[in-house]
Structure 1
Amino acid sequence: MSLAARDQRVIWHPYTQMQTAPAPLPVVRGAGAWLYLEDGTAILDAISSWWTNLHGHAHPHIAARVHEQLQTLEHVIFAGFTHEPAVALAEGLLQILPANQGKVFYSDNGSTAVEVALKMALQYHHNLGQPRPKILAFRDSYHGDTFGAMSVSSRGAFTAPFTALLFDVTYIDVPVPGREADVLAQAEAALAAGDIAAFIYEPLLLGTAGMVTYEPAVLDQLMRLCRAHGTLCIADEVLTGFGRTGRLFASHYLQEQPDMVCLSKGLTGGTMALGVTTCSKGVYNAFLSADRSRTLFHGHSYTANPIACAAGLASLELLLADACQEGIQHIAQRHSQTAAAFEQLPGVRSCRTLGTMLAVELAVPGEGTSYFSGLRDQFYNLALRRGVLLRPLGNIVYALPPYCITDDELDRVYAVLHELRELVLETVPLA
């Protein structure tokens, strides 16, 4: 029996309607930017396997570090114990994060990193004797699939079955160019009530919203407003961290510094699950007390897993090397050149780039822009037939490749984007 057939007998896949979904593609190995199927088919991973894979699949440096760690310590309870990989990774992260970050709290993934930050923010005000029950967030944001993370994300089809159980959130619009003044006014009105504990945001790039970008200046202004009203700022850098926006963190484009930062995805170079929430010393100090009830009561069985931390350290070493930083800038340059050319073509509504992200918004009217659009499935399947993995967000097709991708491989991705544009021209009459 094939791997795909065995899978269909026992597995329930994420974000998948199992009754209508085709058989999953059976991956047997990965190398560099490529995935290899059971039948030998090669697929170029142009989305870094859900934005996680920074340096290429099965990277030997990370594999060697993981192997070495497995011979020494696979796991230990992290309450009352510590180990070298966790301490070294925390030290390394604090050296490159915004300068005000002082402490590292480990968890399991991006959603739990957000949950930790939300609990930190709410309990911070509680510990100060000034409880604040609300969170401020962008209307089209996404922060994860656990209940707190869903609560601060955009409400829609994905969260509809759980609406009655999600906590109340105050939303403001995304400050895209031309809307900055309106959004600042919305934020000022929301913050004036004095009951908002924290503002959580995806800095400069909202991924699942359609790779929507906005400018650092307006985020600085929003953060200054929060500071003036005693509201903490949480930077969700799960997507934007580790070079994705062209700098090590999107927060490095800003003058203001966040009170907390959420990290995952690229944290281990796509090797295995690990989450991190960092915070300023001011936040941390609000939990220090002889009163044990002021403790942050949060933890996971696999908190600071040594193997995951070893993978994170190895990925960080690769990321900070000159070759990787040059690769990031080269991808960004290629994306910018491609976007400038695409914007002049029929069938293209707009293009956006930020660091290693390129998004092409195809001119599809009406329901074609929906995540549930059949045209989106056509885009996905056509790309696969050309040997490229893309996951379009409705009519928005994006590339977010691993940093090891070559010029020839980028050209292959761009060629598929051209073919998708031509499909739109054939399918959708232009006005």
Structure 2
Amino acid sequence: MRQVGSVLWPRLQVLQVYGANTGVGKTIFSSILCRVFQRHFPKVYYLKPVSTGPQEEADDRHISTLSQNIKAKCLYQFSDPVSPHIAARSSKESVTDESIRATVHDELNSYATDENGIAIVETAGGVMSPAPSGNSQADLYRPFRLPVLLVGDHQLGGISTTISAWESLHVRGYDVQSVALFSESRYDNHSYLKDYFAERDVHAFSVPPPPERHSNGAEDARAMQEYYEEAASSSSVVTFSSQLLQNHDKRIADLQSMSAEAVEAIWHPFMQHSERSKDTITAIDSAYGDYFATHTTQQALIVSQNPTTSLIKPAFDASASWWTQGLGHGNPRLALTAAHAAGRYGHVMFASAVHEPALRLAQTLLTNMGNPRLAKVFYTDNGSAGMEVAVKMGIRAAAARNGWSADDDIVILGLKGSYHGDTMGTMDCSEPSIYNKKEPWYTGRGHWLDFPQVKMRKGRWVVESPDELNNSLEGEKTFDSLDDIFDFQKRTDDYAAYKQHCDATLAELIEKGTKFGALVMEPILLGAGGMMFADPLFQRCLVDSVRHHASLAIEMQPQHDGSLDWTGMPVICDEIFTGLYRLGRFSASSFLGVDADIVANAKLLTGGVLPLCTTTASQAIFDAFVSEDKTDALLHGHSYTAHPVGCSAANESLRSMMKMEREGVWDGFKGHWSSSDNSLTLSSPDRQAGGAWSMWSEAFIKAVSHRSQVDSVFALGSVLAITLKDPDGKSYASKAAYEMRDKLLAGAPGEEWVIHSRVLGNVWYAMAAMTTTRETIESLEEKIFAALE
């Protein structure tokens, strides 16, 4: 699949000319700039991607009359003088956004010769005028993120039009180099706009308007040539052209120095800095859709050998930027939503107050999680903090009901390899690991059970049990499909063995006097611990054991409905990573047929725009904190609790993904799975139906599972995880996946785009955004499979 994105050639400068409206003089300014650029560059190019109207009146024909040294071209010319989206209807050719971008990219790339040159790319109409597809031009060309000259409107009402056009570009991440317009004296728009944009560090300039049209064509042409020459020599235009050249050089210099400067100034997360250098740091210029616009030391070396190559290369964001991306980078709807909330609220305190975005988000979560237990939403600003709150809620509720004091040693029950955050409290909720065991304050307050894992190995789905379960389950069991693993009614023998094991373990621990404050687990997929796919039936059994174990039974408090109240111990589901469609469903817990007492959500919550976390609890958990004594309250909060901008982005993110599910956007992916149209057999009749499926095809993961260096593989929802064999038997401390990571980032010679990824020891993983297309996934599968050869 073709992927074009941000470009930056060392010997070709590109300027995109946008207009605040139609008829503001874009082509006249382009003509002036072509004239002045001839003085600096041996080659000047003018490109009009889309034009409407008669061929003899086309802008590129006018530009070509200025000089033989200016090469002018139009890519898509529609004869009907109407908006491009209307003109394109009568065209026999399918003109998509993708085809326009690919054609523009190829044309510009052909200009990046050994000689220095400059290209002007002039748009049609105004900033938000429709492209042939009907999408706005601002969104059509955004992946390139070319520097922009905005031609302002000098006419009555033009101040408002110009400012609105600039804001539309600015909020989409464009760099508007300058604003230019005619110095029409009647309305004096140029004077106001110069001052307005100066306060925003945007250069604005003006030139006199062109002369009145002559009835004689030759006289008119001569007058315009004189006008262009005079305007091109004006101090304002010369200053602009000089700044443009300087900005291009500065952008290159900044991009090339960022990695080295980062080594001096930044302490990176999750990195051993003895292994860090400027050569291991990727500079990200921008991002759009599924891709980063990246610059690396290797790319700089390639460019030094071939100056016609772009300094920036698209790199698929295979970690979904640490699992946060749901609707793609630079999503205009999310950007506009966040901008609106920033303008309406900024941030407002949330103590004893409420605002609409937070209220609507809470209501959306409670309505769509499909969990009747959940009743109250608590806001924090990141996943680790949200899990801190969840554990506080669970342990305090258990202590209150059991009559435990603050002096009692209360622990949590969890799974081995779990990870719930890096704050001090959440670290104690995980067993000793590479993440926490060297921290002096870490105590590891819990008991962690080993668990069976789901894997594909040599083309077969297997459930691999740990040693402590092998006596009853005979080690590894095979299944015909992923749905068969989730079909709990057919796995009664497995359920009985799991239940017996969980019951016996709990009985032994309780007999020793262990006080459990909560069961804390990541449903289905344990992420940071190594992308481990837990057998959902085991997690279901564990919840059943916790809730119905005789040794944990305590008489209910009379004010609670027993069907919705917790028993045994509160069940906390950490859906920071797995929730909100990451695994293909709104709620990851629904795969288990389990209604948790507390659920934490983040990551996909805001579509990657802002940090935000919600911890949603049952009424029974909430009531445990209610009394006449303030010290009994949940005294936890953040300055940015329920940030209105984050809540607004979350509302838009959830609304978009729920719409995608409703409209069957992912049905094409489901069709690549053997039985994805079958409903899962779960105990609760109101669970979210639908078989297990992935955006990664089953045929692909089967093929990967047969590669000699692959131990196992799995895919679910947008997640793909490949466990590579490590000769030393290491897991997270392994470097087995480094070679694959580096190979995919380097790419093959001449590749248009590469893959930027993270690894977890010997596990190489990737995940798509929920908007990633099937065509993109297929291209990724080809690259990944090739990297395993």
Give the TM-score taking structure 2 as reference length.
0.51
C-alpha contact (below 8 Å) 1:141/1:206 kept by paired residues: yes
Q: Which residue type is aligned with residue 46 of structure 1?
A: A
C-alpha distance in structure 1 between counterparts of 2:398 and 2:774, whole Å: 50
Q: Which residue of 2 aligns with 1:363?
A: 725
Q: Which residue of 1 aligns with 2:783?
A: 416
Structure 1 residues 9-408: aligned runs within 5 Å = 9-23=264-278, 24-38=281-295, 39-97=311-369, 98-128=371-401, 130-131=403-404, 133-162=410-439, 164-176=441-453, 177=463, 178=465, 179=469, 181=497, 184=502, 185-191=504-510, 193=513, 195-228=515-548, 229=552, 230-322=568-660, 326-328=664-666, 330-331=668-669, 332=694, 334-367=696-729, 369-386=730-747, 387-408=754-775
Per the TM alignment, residue 152 of structure 1 is displaced from its structure 2 partner at its CA by 1.1
Count of equivalent residues: 421
Per the TM alignment, residue 166 of structure 1 is displaced from its structure 2 partner at its CA by 2.5
Per the TM alignment, residue 380 of structure 1 is displaced from its structure 2 partner at its CA by 1.6
C-alpha distance in structure 2 between counterparts of 1:325 and 1:107, whole Å: 31
Classify 1:211/1:147 alpha carbon distance in 2 versus 1 (closer, same or farther; 3 Å): same
Classify 1:413/1:107 alpha carbon distance in 2 versus 1 (closer, same or farther; 3 Å): same
Q: Tell me the SS of whatever aligns to 1:119.
A: helix
Q: Deviations over 1:217-254 (max 9, x none)?
A: 22222112111222110000011011111211111112
CA RMSD of aligned residues (A): 2.1
Q: Which residue type is aligned with residue 223 of structure 1?
A: V
Classify 1:18/1:111 alpha carbon distance in 2 versus 1 (closer, same or farther; 3 Å): same
C-alpha distance in structure 2 between counterparts of 1:398 and 1:187, whole Å: 34
Q: Tell me the SS of whatever aligns to 1:321.
A: helix
Classify 1:268/1:227 alpha carbon distance in 2 versus 1 (closer, same or farther; 3 Å): same
C-alpha contact (below 8 Å) 1:125/1:197 kept by paired residues: yes
C-alpha contact (below 8 Å) 1:47/1:402 kept by paired residues: no
C-alpha distance in structure 1 between counterparts of 2:719 and 2:574, whole Å: 17
C-alpha distance in structure 1 between counterparts of 2:779 and 2:608, whole Å: 23
C-alpha distance in structure 2 between counterparts of 1:157 and 1:205, whole Å: 19
Q: Tell me the SS of whatever aligns to 1:71.
A: helix
Q: Where does structure 2 lack aligned partners over 5 or more consecutive residues?
A: 1-253, 296-310, 454-462, 470-493, 553-567, 670-693, 748-753
C-alpha contact (below 8 Å) 2:737/2:762 kept by paired residues: yes
Q: Which residue type is aligned with residue 711 of structure 2?
A: R
Q: Which residue of 2 aligns with 1:426?
A: none
Per the TM alignment, residue 351 of structure 1 is displaced from its structure 2 partner at its CA by 1.6
Per the TM alignment, residue 335 of structure 1 is displaced from its structure 2 partner at its CA by 3.2
Per the TM alignment, residue 208 of structure 1 is displaced from its structure 2 partner at its CA by 2.2
Q: Tell me the SS of whatever aligns to 2:275.
A: coil
C-alpha contact (below 8 Å) 1:328/1:355 kept by paired residues: no
Per the TM alignment, residue 105 of structure 1 is displaced from its structure 2 partner at its CA by 0.3
C-alpha contact (below 8 Å) 2:399/2:517 kept by paired residues: no
C-alpha contact (below 8 Å) 1:140/1:153 kept by paired residues: yes
Q: Which residue of 2 aligns with 1:425?
A: none
Per the TM alignment, residue 363 of structure 1 is displaced from its structure 2 partner at its CA by 3.0
Q: Which one is further off, 127-136 or 349-358?
A: 127-136
Classify 1:29/1:262 alpha carbon distance in 2 versus 1 (closer, same or farther; 3 Å): same
C-alpha distance in structure 2 between counterparts of 1:313 and 1:25, whole Å: 32
Per the TM alignment, residue 18 of structure 1 is displaced from its structure 2 partner at its CA by 2.3
C-alpha contact (below 8 Å) 1:339/1:352 kept by paired residues: yes
C-alpha distance in structure 1 between counterparts of 2:696 and 2:435, whole Å: 34
Q: Which one is further off, 207-216 or 140-149?
A: 207-216
Q: Which one is further off, 43-52 or 338-347?
A: 338-347
Q: Which residue of 2 aligns with 1:429?
A: none
C-alpha distance in structure 2 between counterparts of 1:370 and 1:254, whole Å: 27
C-alpha distance in structure 1 between counterparts of 2:609 and 2:697, whole Å: 26
Structure having greater relative contact order (Cα 8 Å, sep ≥ 6): 1
C-alpha distance in structure 2 between counterparts of 1:345 and 1:377, whole Å: 17
Q: Deviations over 1:34-67 (max 9, x none)?
A: 1112532110012211111011001111111001
Q: Which one is further off, 369-378 or 103-112?
A: 369-378
Per the TM alignment, residue 329 of structure 1 is displaced from its structure 2 partner at its CA by 5.1
C-alpha contact (below 8 Å) 2:427/2:442 kept by paired residues: no
Q: Which one is further off, 28-37 or 15-24?
A: 15-24
Q: Deviations over 1:80-128 (max 9, x none)?
A: 2211111111111111112211000000111011100111112113333
Q: Which residue type is aligned with residue 505 of structure 2?
A: Q
Q: Which residue type is aligned with residue 34 of structure 1?
A: Y
C-alpha distance in structure 2 between counterparts of 1:49 and 1:240, whole Å: 15
Please tell me whether Structure 1 or Structure 2 has the larger radius of gyration of its CA atoms: 2
Classify 1:383/1:161 alpha carbon distance in 2 versus 1 (closer, same or farther; 3 Å): same
